[in-house]
A = this chain, B = another copy of it.
Amino acid sequence: MSVLVVGSTALDSIKTPQAENPRLLGGSASHAGVAASFFTPVHLVGIVGDDFPKRYINLYQRHGIHLEALQIVPGKTFHWAGEYEVNMNNRRTLKTELGVFETFSPTLPKAHRESAYVLLANIAPSLQHHVLDQMQRPKFVIADTMDLWLNIALAELLKLLRRIDAFVLNDSEARLLTKDDNLLSAVQKIHRLGPKYVIVKKGEHGSLVSSPRGLFLAPAFPLQKVVDPTGAGDSFVGGLVGYLASRGGSIDAHLKCAVVHGSAVASFCCEGFGLTRTTRITRQAIEDRVKVLRKIVRF
């Protein structure tokens, strides 16, 4: 089964203590779409300007990402610039130029409306609603978010939580949303807001998955060197939903393996700037890391 991915499609200029990389392919839908593409065909819903490099279009296509719903319109592509501190944990936004993204209001092609697996990657909750409004009874809807929307669009986000199956957020966002310092009780509160599946990303500490089958602690792949963590969360959720769509059948039965596959893809993402490392891997490389993860948590 294919996955419908909606989110931002952007150019990222990323500065770390080691290097500076201008206008890389970025955005939540790009990272999530490429991650999902290792497992299943992807339909990408997004918008870019007429300055969007042709080589990035080619890159999407090489990954089996279908672009019927990628609007290319006159104007500038969403451009984000950010800088990481030495430890790669803190980042500072230097610039956000929305460009054509400001007018993004996608109308889905008819075929897309019947997608069974939908990823609402990180994007304004109102846009996530707008896409969901056009869908015809998808089997599985998973949404990602970021602290910005908790701060400026909380009402819309809370409404969204009642419409989705799975919600992905990081640990500090879970605490912010629930005003609860304890992650377990924060997760229980988030379930009561709607989602059957709650997945909390904890960066290098892995993730916590809460589902009808109970809790699952998923490991993060231990890395000797983090080059650029931008898009790791998007890669995680993209790999996760791509794996689920490729398996079909019961979500409950495949969720744990899906999360670990997402974790493996995210680890590759961290090893290069933007999508440079992720776009060079193979499905087999992902499976090799999953095998390592299976080994290092076994006792």
Interface residues of A (CB under 8 A from B): 86-88, 181-185, 202, 204-206, 208, 214-219, 222-226, 256-257, 259-260, 294-299
23 A-B contacts (beta carbon < 8 Å): A86-B181, A88-B181, A182-B223, A182-B225, A183-B204, A183-B222, A184-B222, A184-B223, A184-B224, A185-B224, A202-B205, A206-B217, A208-B222, A217-B219, A217-B296, A219-B297, A256-B298, A256-B299, A257-B299, A259-B299, A260-B299, A294-B299, A297-B297
Q: Given A294-B299, A296-B214, A296-B215, A87–B181 Cβ distance below 8 Å?
A: yes
Minimum-distance CB pairs A-B, first 10? A205-B205, A256-B299, A87-B181, A297-B297, A184-B224, A215-B296, A217-B219, A184-B222, A217-B296, A217-B297
Query: B182 touching A224 by the CB < 8 A rule?
Result: yes
Per the bound structure, the CA–CA distance linking A210 and B182 in Å amounts to 29
Residues of B within 8 A of A224 (CB): 182, 184-185
Q: Which residue of B has the minimal Cβ distance to A219?
A: B217
* Least CB separation from A218: chain B residue: B299
Of A185, A223, A259, A297, chain B has the most CB atoms within 10 Å of the CB of: A297
CB closest residue in chain B, given A225: B182
Closest chain B CB from A297 CB (angstroms) = 5
A222-B187 Cα distance, complex, nearest whole Å? 12
Known: A257-B299, A260-B299, A297-B297. A217 touches B222 (CB 8 A): yes
What distance in Å separates the Cβ of A49 from its nearest Cβ neighbour in chain B? Answer: 37
